[in-house]
């Protein structure tokens, strides 16, 4: 009658440990690759976030110069229009008091102010651009639409910058977490190495410890990958 | 026979030599992956420096454009006033207009580039600021010609290569593990682990070579 050969005590569980070590190696290799990938993605997102920050600062400066020019022009239009009006009132008053010189001076000032106001209005987007120009003479220009349009591009760049910064934080956090997993994997390797060196019951104990740690580390890596 | 081969001291030496070769290859592969990573970092740094330079030049050009626009506006408004005086029936206004045209307007024009060249003058009497900005940008082609995007594209290529090289390094490291296992093993599985280690090493080597070759072609021969 043939009996199944019983392995020597020194060889018992050795194959199990080799298989576990092999599994650990493969998982470690996968996690190391994922860590490198997460690191690269974090670097790329970091780069994009810095680039968009540069673009946003430039656009904010440009739109600031533009709105300063536009609002200054608009303010000058209002000033000259009101100056022309005041000078016309003054001219009428001078006329009523028979002050011919005063009337003439006031008329010249009113004429000059009106000419300046008309020319300035042709420079102002608040009068020339149909998106902002008042529909009737009583209305004011649409300042809200102007402000929204002026800041639209900067806002768009800033939102891209924010998205890139969020990506950077996400990938950087993942890369850091993978380093944690790799450290735990190193512990599993150490335990399997000890198990390989030991014999008997202690070999199995260390193999079980290693397997538990391998299981936990694998679960952690899966969690990082999914979340 | 297999048992004899397993216990042969020559196999020990053979495995030791293979381990030495694989270790050296792994070290070289790790160095190359690190170099590629460094090149990606350099390209990112260059791109960001170019972006700052280009944006600063552009901001300065916009500042000059709007500064000139303000002066040009003053000139145009003063000219409008002169024309209004010239068209009026008031003698004093006409005299004032004559003097303004003779003395004031030429002086105002001196400081404004926008009013000197007719190409900036639009049909409505205002000025083409976009054209002026484009001309100012063209005055410094070395700054306007900077392309951060090109550096970023290069960094993307290096990063992508680094990603695939890492896989190659991992394969080489795995082969090293199996070869070490075969060196420690004296039983019947020794040859099997040696074969697995050598096989993974060859796959890793081919992988590494292919990745290098593909990205070398993509970058037009640049390492």
CA distances from B194 to A190, A198, A205, B16, B25 (A): 22, 23, 28, 11, 17
Residue A115 has its nearest CB partner, among B47, B80, B90, at B80
- The phi and psi torsions of B127 (rounded to 5 degrees) equal -120, 150
Distance CA(B25)–CA(B7), nearest Å, equals 27
A120-134 pLDDT tens trace: 999 999 999 999 998
Mean pLDDT, to the nearest integer, of A74-91?
96
- pLDDT for res A199: 84
Structurally, chain B folds into a number of domains equal to 1
> Which CATH number characterizes residue B183's domain?
1.10.287
pLDDT tops 60 at residue A4: no
Are B181 and A11 inside 8 Å of each other by CB? no
B137-151 pLDDT tens trace: 999 889 888 999 999
Question: Over its length of 223 residues, how does chain B's per-residue pLDDT go in tens digits?
Answer: 666 767 777 888 999 999 999 999 999 999 999 999 999 999 999 999 999 999 999 999 999 999 999 999 999 999 999 999 999 998 999 999 999 999 999 998 887 778 888 889 888 888 999 999 999 999 988 988 899 999 999 999 999 999 999 989 988 988 988 898 888 777 777 888 899 999 999 999 999 999 999 999 998 877 7
Residue B155 has its nearest CB partner, among A47, A65, A107, at A47
Comparing CA positions, the residue from A172, A207, A174 lying closest to residue A190 is: A207
Task: Please report whether residue B68 resides in a domain.
Answer: yes
Are B44 and A47 inside 8 Å of each other by CB? yes
- pLDDT for res A9: 58
Task: Please report whether residue B223 resides in a domain.
Answer: no
Angle among Cα A43, A44, A49 to the nearest 5 degrees reads: 95
Within an 8 Å CB–CB cutoff, is residue A197 touching chain B?
no
* A1 — pLDDT class (breaks 50, 70, 90): very low
- pLDDT for res B124: 81
Domains identified in chain A and CATH numbers: 10-226 (1.10.287)
- The phi and psi torsions of B116 (rounded to 5 degrees) equal -80, -30
CA distances from A193 to A19, A27, A200, B198 (A): 12, 16, 15, 22
pTM for this entry: 0.85
Within an 8 Å CB–CB cutoff, is residue A81 touching chain B?
no
Give the HSE-up count for residue B63: Cα atoms under 13 Å, Cβ half-sphere.
9
- The ipTM is 0.84
Are A33 and B40 inside 8 Å of each other by CB? no
Chain B residues 143-162 with a CB less than 8 Å from chain A:
148, 152, 155-156, 159, 162
pLDDT tops 80 at residue A6: no
Task: Please report whether residue B124 resides in a domain.
Answer: yes
Q: Considering only A78-92, A187-201, B106-120, B127-141, which range has the smallest mean pLDDT?
A: B106-120
Task: Please report whether residue B115 resides in a domain.
Answer: yes
Alpha carbon of B14: minimum distance to chain A alpha carbons (Å) = 22
Angle among Cα A83, A87, A93 to the nearest 5 degrees reads: 150
Task: Please report whether residue B134 resides in a domain.
Answer: yes
Token pair 């009106």 in the structure block, residue: A114
Mean pLDDT, to the nearest integer, of A130-147?
90
Are A40 and B44 inside 8 Å of each other by CB? no
A13-46 pLDDT tens trace: 888 888 898 889 889 989 999 999 999 999 999 9
Note the residue count of chain B: 223
Are A62 and B58 inside 8 Å of each other by CB? yes
Within an 8 Å CB–CB cutoff, is residue B66 touching chain A?
yes
Are B58 and A107 inside 8 Å of each other by CB? no
Task: Please report whether residue B148 resides in a domain.
Answer: yes
Chain A residues 144-183 with a CB less than 8 Å from chain B:
none
Mean pLDDT, to the nearest integer, of A109-124?
95
Residue A198's SS3 state is: coil
CB A40 within 8 A of CB B164: no
Task: Please report whether residue B142 resides in a domain.
Answer: yes
Q: Write out chain A residues lying below 8 Å of B79, CB-based.
A: 119
CB B49 within 8 A of CB B143: no
What's the token pair of residue A53?
Answer: 């920050």
CA distances from A151 to A63, A154, A219, B67, B162 (A): 7, 5, 47, 21, 39
Task: Please report whether residue B116 resides in a domain.
Answer: yes
Distance CA(A6)–CA(A147), nearest Å, equals 86
Residue B12's SS3 state is: helix
pLDDT tops 50 at residue A218: yes
Domain span including residue B139 = 2-218
Residue B212's SS3 state is: helix
Distance CA(B163)–CA(A26), nearest Å, equals 17
């Amino acid at each position: 009658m043939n009996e199944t050969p019983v392995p020597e005590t020194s060889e018992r569980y050795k194959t199990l440990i080799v298989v576990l070590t092999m599994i650990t190696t493969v998982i470690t290799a996968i996690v190391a690759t994922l860590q490198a990938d997460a690191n690269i993605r974090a670097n790329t997102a970091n780069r994009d976030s810095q680039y968009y920050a540069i673009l946003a600062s430039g656009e904010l400066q440009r739109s600031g110069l533009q709105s300063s020019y536009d609002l200054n022009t608009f303010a000058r239009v209002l000033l000259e229009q009101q100056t022309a009006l005041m000078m016309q009132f003054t001219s009428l008053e001078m006329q009523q008091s028979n002050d011919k010189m005063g009337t003439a001076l006031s008329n010249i000032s009113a004429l000059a102010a009106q000419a300046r106001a008309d020319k300035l209005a042709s420079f102002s987007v608040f009068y020339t651009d149909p998106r902002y120009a008042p529909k009737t003479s009583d209305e004011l220009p649409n300042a809200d639409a102007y402000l929204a349009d002026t800041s639209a591009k900067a806002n768009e760049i800033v939102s891209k910058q924010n998205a890139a910064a969020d990506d950077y934080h996400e990938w950087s956090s993942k890369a850091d977490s993978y380093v944690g997993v790799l450290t735990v994997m190193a512990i599993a390797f150490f335990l399997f190495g000890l198990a390989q060196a030991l014999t008997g019951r202690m070999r199995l104990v260390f193999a079980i410890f290693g397997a538990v740690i391998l299981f936990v580390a694998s679960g952690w890596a899966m969690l990082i990958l999914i979340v | 026979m297999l048992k004899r081969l397993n216990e042969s001291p020559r196999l020990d030496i053979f495995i030791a030599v293979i381990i030495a070769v694989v270790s050296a290859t792994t070290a070289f592969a790790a160095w190359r992956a690190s170099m590629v990573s460094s090149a990606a970092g350099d390209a990112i740094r260059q791109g960001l420096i170019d972006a700052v330079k280009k944006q600063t030049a552009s901001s300065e050009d916009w500042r000059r454009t709007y500064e000139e626009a303000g002066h040009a506006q003053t000139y145009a408004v003063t000219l409008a006033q002169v024309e209004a005086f010239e068209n009026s029936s008031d003698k004093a206004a006409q005299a004032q207009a004559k003097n303004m045209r003779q003395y004031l307007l030429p002086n105002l024009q001196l400081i404004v580039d926008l009013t000197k060249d007719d190409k900036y003058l639009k049909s409505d009497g205002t000025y083409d600021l976009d054209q002026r900005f484009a001309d100012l940008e063209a005055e410094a082609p070395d700054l306007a010609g900077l392309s951060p995007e090109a550096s970023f594209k290069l960094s993307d290529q290096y990063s992508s290569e680094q990603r695939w090289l890492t896989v190659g390094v991992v394969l080489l490291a795995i082969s090293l593990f199996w070869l070490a296992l075969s060196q420690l093993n004296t039983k019947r599985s020794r040859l099997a682990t040696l074969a697995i280690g050598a096989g993974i090493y060859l796959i890793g080597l081919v992988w590494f070579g292919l990745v290098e070759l593909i990205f070398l072609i993509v970058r037009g021969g640049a390492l």
